[in-house]
């Protein structure tokens, strides 16, 4: 019994950051008989952050596009929270400012991050030569 309660508490603590924070949406979900309402924005940000972390883990950061994307993922949740409290005109002005700055700055050339490129003659068979 204690193990099940501890497991339940740990599971609830793990999903709490993904739950809907808007009280009106949470109450509407409860009225429909749903015990928990997940915030789709939070689930999407978590999935995107997981994919970016996997890519950076394998290939590293290759230039300002990767770095900008990584920073955007980190700042996504605070930005979403802040944008819920501002007027639409302010959101449009922020978006224009960000888009004007997009692509400004130096970049290094991107090269393969893998040890060797596949040969055009590779027939995708095992080259081990063993049994």
Domain boundaries along the sequence of the chain: 16-100
Q: Average pLDDT of the chain?
A: 76
pLDDT at 126 over 70: no
Calculate what percentage of the chain has a pLDDT beyond 70.
78
Task: Give pLDDT, residue 56.
Answer: 80
What pTM, to 2 d.p., does this model score? 0.51
Task: Give pLDDT, residue 3.
Answer: 82
Q: Decide if 44 contacts 69 (C-beta within 8 A).
A: no
**What's the CA dihedral at 101, 102, 107, 112 to 10 degrees?**
170
Q: How many Cα atoms within 13 Å fall on the side-chain side of residue 55?
A: 12
| Structure-block tokens of residue 27 | 């109450």
- Give the closest residue to 11 by CA, choosing from 28, 34, 36, 33: 36
Residue 117's pLDDT band (boundaries 50, 70, 90)? low
Q: Decide if 67 contacts 42 (C-beta within 8 A).
A: no
């Amino acid at each position: 019994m204690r193990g099940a309660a501890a497991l339940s508490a740990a599971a609830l603590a793990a999903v709490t950051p993904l739950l809907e924070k808007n009280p009106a949406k949470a109450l509407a979900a409860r009225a429909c008989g749903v015990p928990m309402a997940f915030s789709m924005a939070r689930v999407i940000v978590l999935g995107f952050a997981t994919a970016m972390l996997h890519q950076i883990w394998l290939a590293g950061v290759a230039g300002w596009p990767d770095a900008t994307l990584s920073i955007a993922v980190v700042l996504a949740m605070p930005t979403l929270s802040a944008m819920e409290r501002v007027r639409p005109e302010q959101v449009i002005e922020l978006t224009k400012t960000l888009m004007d700055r997009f692509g400004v700055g130096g970049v290094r050339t991107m090269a393969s991050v893998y040890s060797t490129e596949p040969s055009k003659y590779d027939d995708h068979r095992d080259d081990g030569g063993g049994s």
